[in-house]
Structure 1
Amino acid sequence: MSLLAKNMEIIRKQSSLMANAIISKSAMPGEIEYDGEHDALQLCIDGRRLFLHSIYNREREFKEMFRDVPDRVTRLIIFGLDDGSILHYIEKHYPRLEHLLIVEPHGTVLERFLAENDFSASFTPFKKVTFLINYTLEDAEKKIEELLITSDAIEYYNSVVSLFAYQVAYGEYYRGLVRQALKALRFYHVNKTTQDSFRVLWLINFWRNLRQAEIDVSEMRGVFEGRPAIIVSAGPSLGKNIGLLERLKEKALIIAVGSSISILESHGITPHFRVAIDGVKENELIFKNVATEKCPLIYSGYAYHPMIENYQGPKIHMSLTGHLLPNYLFEKAEWQCLTVRSGFSVANVAMDMLQQLKCSTIILLGQDLCYTEGRMHAHGAWDGEFDDKYVNEEVETVNQFGEKVYTDRLFLGMKLVFEKILEMHKRDATAATVINATEGGLKIEGMLHKSLAEVEAEYLTTTYEFEREIAERIAVEKRNLPLKKNQLKSAVDNMYEQLEELIELNEKNCRDISKTLQLVVANGGNKQIIKGMDKISKTFALMNGQAFYQQVIHPEFADTFKLRLFASGIDAKNWRDTAEKDLKVFIGNTLELGKYLDLLKNLTQEYRGEKTLNITIE
């Protein structure tokens, strides 16, 4: 059996799609030919012949290709495999690489590589390898977005490199790959920064809000399923259509989010639901001068707890992805919760919620995602007087009418999340039709764009008794409350037992790390230090064997707490310097974790009525 046949057999067993792609005609223009004189592949396109690699100095070529790629890169997208020499360069210069993503628009290139190289041996040095073979730009962008932008992704430092021939011939393709890498970076940066900054705040809000937990939004499905809904946001264009909303209350569920809550109130319009998810004190002002008793509030567990406590109307809980502790407890309590995708904005969250509740049509209103006449909100918003503080006209673009407008990276992030949610739900045959009825905002790809009057005439033709249905559903679900509260109590008690064990293990680790660090600094013997490292590793293993630590605590600190095992590399050069540096990091990690666990214990005791804490959020 030839080497090519052997390799293809291995690939076919792992992925028949990849095997077929290798032997299929390329989706991109041009042909790959072999130049025997120079022992190199050429791309023949538009009457030109472009060598895939330099025929003079490969090392210099690689240095130029990777000039802007730092050695800390953890995910690398390479556009073009050529003869595979690039793999040896990557292996040598990027030891931290976690994921290698190879985009090769010509299966012929990979086929020739497989005829001369052992497939398994070539890619064994890399922890994870993904191949995109013969993909069009559109398909490659979608696939890379799925791989790079996920709500539970760990930190990756992304870079893109390309064969110079492919950059010349397929410039737009290359730029598309770069765009996807930048999207992933934007997602990670915002999510990670938010998580680190608000970890303690969210914990306090959750335990205080847990007292309010009665009804989950999933239990309201009967009100939403098969019905149209309008998400009302506070963009400047809202004023164009706000007069229609009172009439439309019989034809669509009105969902007010963020600052639109105070705008609707100032116009005498009470929506069917209000939605609040933000955890900072400033958001309490959304409900200033708002009659909260008239309308149910859908809230996340991390929302600012005094705002939830003071709300007079019915309160409906909503679980969000990334809310590890709430989701863990509700699962253990066997509450049938709907888990909604987190997003840049409350409108992002509301759209995914309505998709999962099976609304027939979702209509966006006031979702400008840009500044109009220097304003970010319609008149009547609680924070309208602070527009000068928040407006950040850093990006010039055009709106859906082709007019020049200004936006910022946060708005662009919101737009991106809308598009991502749309793409995810497109696979569901029962997904709602989503229409952007915002007049003048940015175009959101994947949505229909119509005026609200057009939407009413085409989609809002049936009337409903929404207020009666909502009140009846809430009354029914409150009858089940005693059983649900008992189930929740059992889940909290079980978590508390695991928490006490974790605190003991973490305190032990703190002592062992300190002792081992002292040995390293004092130039102690290798055996003693290895023994100390082994004790630390075993304690981490005990912690990791606990369900609560695995599912809540470790993911919460995943980017901060990373234990490195030294025993296998103990003879490496400068291992003592590395051990000292990392042990100092570990001691800081352990102390930080200890503070977090102590706070968690105190808040749990307060929830159980065992103590009162004097903690306020400013």
Structure 2
Amino acid sequence: MDYFEVNMDCMRQRRNELYKKLVNFMNQNMNSKTLEVVSEPSKYDEHYMIVKKDDLLTRLNSCYSPKNEAMKWVEQFSFTNINIIIAMFGFGTGSIPREVIRQKNKTDMLFIYEPSIEIFTHVLYNFDISDIINDNSVVLTIEGVNEFEFRNLLKLYTNITNIYSQIRCTHPYYQDLFPESAINFWKEIKDNYIHARMNINTEQYFGERFITNALFNTRYLKDSNRLLDLKDIIDTEVPAIIVAAGPSLKNNIEELRRAKGKAYIFVVDRILDYVLEAGIEPDFIVTVDPIKPIEYFTTRTDVTTPLLCEMSSNWEVLNQHKGKKIFFSCNPYFQMMYLSQKKNPPILNTGASVATTAFASCVKLGFNKIVLVGQDLAYDGEMTHAGGIAEKSSKQKEVYVEGLDGKKVRSRLDWYEFLIWFQDMIILHPEIQVIDTKIKGAKIQGAIQMTLKDVVNKFGTKNVNINNELNNIKGTFSKEDMEGIRKFFSDTYDELRNLKKKAEEAILLCEEQIRIYKNNYCDNHLTEKNYKKISKINQYISEQPAYHLLETFITAETAQEISEMYQFSDDRINDIISTYEKSKKIFQAIIDGTEFLRPEFDKMMPYI
């Protein structure tokens, strides 16, 4: 077998989706070339590569020893931390990525963004890269083939434990050869950091509130439904209209009134009163925020429109609302609760806003057409929301994005994050027709521009009345299920006592470890014995359902310690002492969390 056969066979077995996309791309674009690539034997070891672009020749590797060059190049980076995210622009011949793989830790992830299909194709034919293709710690993306996976998987793997342990680098000469692609690469890196930072800030800020909301909201479980319970009563051929709170909503109120009964209308909580005052009764309200000011929901006390919500949505909103609660998502602890009664738990990738949550809900329900109304994602003068609201936010940085007319429009960093999310979802779901009805504001790439009037005229051909169907749908849990749920919560109450005891034992062991290492500055049989005891405690704690309820509390209390847990220096003993110091604070957060939770359970149990 030649290099190409070996590489492609390996890719077919280990990266089948990339293999299929690559074969499809190569079959359709064999004659489309923007540069020339050749390989020449180096003086001492493997071949090097020369690229000709715009009549300029660029040698990507040493003509003497590409292996030795790769070793020296990689020396500029330190791999002392654990779970490092390495983002690299350019694959080259594979010699540099191979050296990165050799020097990094097993738990580190290497994300490679190759901007040139011509270079990568040449490499497939002329170099054996099966070892890299076969490596599960490598994410391989090629522009024009599967570059979306670079963004998607980078987001998936970046979290509080490694956000500060990242290496970003470019293969020699790649930025000069592919400047536009390099700009996109660095933009993806920046956007990923913003996304991860926002997620971490959310957990830090809302840690306790996530828990108190979810426990309070358990009182609605008896009469509640899951989002997936609606799938059998929704006609997905009828459009779903998502009404957000952007200033452009005022231009669509009359057409929205006409759409009632011809489409399913999902209204975000912020704009509910505005829509109700216009005489429009939505089919669903959507809420997600754990601390949603009640005045941003409704001041009415008679709202019975079905509410799509998360278990951790603001308890005050759910308390104000008088109708059916439909849960679209919950944290791992409540997922275990559903599973304890043999029910599939509600799980949803909600994005970062109530509008993205409404969109994700419509995708989950299987709608073929999703219509966006009031999804401006940009200022209208100084206006931020419909109803003449000019909300001032000192926390949000202003940015400029592409508008519908191709010119830049003023937006905010959080809106930009939502914009990216919508565009990603459109890429992920090409089967769904996404229609944007605004006439100005931020351009959502991939969405079809169409007025709401035209949408109603073209697609509003059926009459729907969800209320009739919802009145007949059974709740998720039976009376017997609720008895089982009560037992699940009672068991959690007992687990909290045990978690506290185990965390106290772990703190004493950590303190002993710190004393030994400070005095002896080395390992001994006692440190090994204590390490095994702490590991056993960690395993016990992580296996308890109650721990998954405590997680957001622990993250909020010890975010700094968790983010630094896998960062190390060249001084091994000091690193060990520092790790045990951080561990003490995390175990103390577990103790504090159990003491916080038990009175919350006392308040909750009478309502189950």
**Into which bin does the TM-score normalised by the smaller protein fall?**
0.7 to 0.9
8 A contact 1:53–1:163 mirrored in 2: no
Distance 1:594 1:319, change over 3 A: farther
Match in the other structure for 1:616:
none
* Match 1:421 to one of 410, 425, 450: 425
* Equivalent residue for 2:490, pick from 490, 493, 512: 493
8 A contact 1:234–1:263 mirrored in 2: no
Which residue is 1:108 aligned to?
Answer: 122
Percentage of matched positions with identical amino acids: 18
Choose which of 40, 48, 55 in structure 1 pairs with 2:48: 40
SS of equivalent residue, structure 2 residue 342 = coil
Aligned: 1:409 with 2:413: yes
CA distance in 2 between partners of 1:501 and 1:339 (Å): 29
> Per the alignment, do residues 517 and 65 of structure 1 end up closer, same or farther by CA in structure 2, a change over 3 Å counting?
closer
Structure 2 CA distance for partners of 1:2 and 1:484, relative to 1, 3 Å: closer
Please give the residue correspondences for 1:15-26 in structure 2 after superposition, counting only pairs within 5 Å. 15=15
Q: 1:584 to 1:396 in 2, by over 3 A?
A: same
Q: Deviations over 1:510-551 (max 9, x none)?
A: 22112222222333773233322232122223334x252686
The residue number in structure 1 matching 2:379 is 371
> Which has the larger displacement, 73-82 or 325-334?
73-82
**2:249 is equivalent to residue 238 of structure 1:** yes
What SS class does the counterpart of residue 387 from structure 2 fall into? Answer: coil
1:315-356 CA distance string (max 9 Å, x none): 3132326x2222222222333443221211101011111121
Tell me by how many angstroms 1:564 deviates.
8.3
Structure-2 change in CA distance of 1:246 and 1:391 (3 Å): farther
Instruction: Judge which range, 329-338 or 33-42, deviates more.
Output: 33-42
| 1:519–1:57 CA distance, 2 compared to 1 (3 A) | same
Partner of 1:248: 259
Partner of 1:451: 451
Query: Does 1:324 pair with 2:351?
Result: no
**Which residue, 584, 591, 595 being the options, matches 1:594?**
591
* Equivalent position SS for 1:588: helix
Residue 71 of structure 1, CA deviation: 7.7
Give 1:297's aligned residue. 307
Structural mapping, 1:343-354, within 5 Å: 343-354=351-362
TM-score, length basis structure 2: 0.83
- Deviations along 1:574-617, one digit per CA (max 9) or x if unpaired, are 43222211111110111012212332333223322399xxxxxx
Change (3 A) 1:480 1:12: closer
Match for 1:543 among 536, 541, 544? 541
Aligned-pair distance for 1:303? 1.5
Task: Return the match for 2:229 from 208, 213, 219.
Answer: 219
CA contact (8 A) 1:393 1:408 kept: yes
- Tell me which of the two structures has the higher relative contact order, counting C-alpha pairs closer than 8 angstroms and 6 or more residues apart: 2
Question: Corresponding residue for 1:210?
Answer: 218
Distance 2:459 2:18 in 1: 43
CA 62–234 in structure 1, closer or farther in 2 if over 3 Å, else same? farther
CA displacement at 1:206 relative to structure 2: 0.5
Question: Aligned equivalents of 2:108 and 2:3: distance in 1?
Answer: 28
Shift in Å, 1:87: 4.3
1:504 aligns with 501
Work out whether 1:437 is the aligned partner of 2:437: yes
Tell me the residue number matched to 1:615: none
Whichever residue aligns with residue 42 of structure 1, its letter is I
SS in 1 for 2:540: helix
Q: Please list the CA deviations of residues 162-210 of structure 1 after superposition, one character each: whole Å capped at 9, or x if unmatched.
A: 3344323322233333333233222211112211221111101110111
Q: Take 1:344 and 1:246, find their aligned partners in 2: how far apart are those partners?
A: 28
Higher mean alpha-carbon deviation, 515-524 vs 242-251, is at 515-524
CA distance change for structure 1 residues 583 and 304 in 2, over 3 Å: closer, same or farther? same
SS of 1:352's partner is helix
Please name the residue that 2:324 is paired with. Answer: 315
Q: Secondary structure at the match of 2:380?
A: coil
Q: Does 2:465 correspond to 1:465?
A: yes
- The answer to whether residue 155 in structure 2 is matched with residue 149 in structure 1 is yes
Query: Aligned partners of 2:259 and 2:138: how far apart in 1?
Result: 52
Give the CA deviation at 1:553.
5.4
Q: Which residue pairs with 1:520 in the alignment?
A: 517
Aligned-partner SS, 2:586: helix
Instruction: Using structure 1 for the length normalisation, give the TM-score.
Output: 0.82
Q: 1:49 to 1:26 in 2, by over 3 A?
A: farther
Aligned-residue CA RMSD (Å): 4.0
State the distance in 2 between where 1:432 and 1:10 align.
33
Which AA in structure 1 matches 2:462? Answer: T
Matches within 5 A, 1:128-207: 128-132=137-141, 135=142, 137-150=143-156, 155-156=162-163, 157-207=165-215
| Equivalent pairs, count | 583
CA separation in 2, counterparts of 1:598 and 1:357? 39
CA distance in structure 1 between the aligned counterparts of 2:433 and 2:19, rounded to whole angstroms: 37
Q: Is the 8 A contact 1:78 1:160 kept in 2?
A: yes
Q: Does 1:79 align with 2:89?
A: yes
1:607 and 2:604 matched: yes
CA distance in 2, matches of 1:32, 1:238: 53
Deviation of 1:411 after TM superposition, in Å, equals 0.4
User: Could you list the runs of 5+ residues in structure 2 that have no partner in the other structure?
Assistant: none
- What is the one-letter code of the residue matched to 1:365? V
Most deviating of 460-469 and 197-206: 460-469
**Partner residue, 1:614:** none
In 2, Cα distance between equivalents of 1:555 and 1:53: 48
Change in Cα spacing, 1:600 to 1:401, as seen in structure 2 (3 Å) is: same
Residue type of the alignment partner of 2:537: T
Change (3 A) 1:172 1:542: same
1:421 CA displacement = 2.4
CA gap of 1:294–1:10, structure 2 versus 1, over 3 A, is: closer
- The one-letter code matched in structure 2 to 1:108 is H
In structure 2, do the counterparts of structure 1 residues 254 and 293 end up closer, same or farther at CA, with 3 Å as the change threshold?
Answer: same
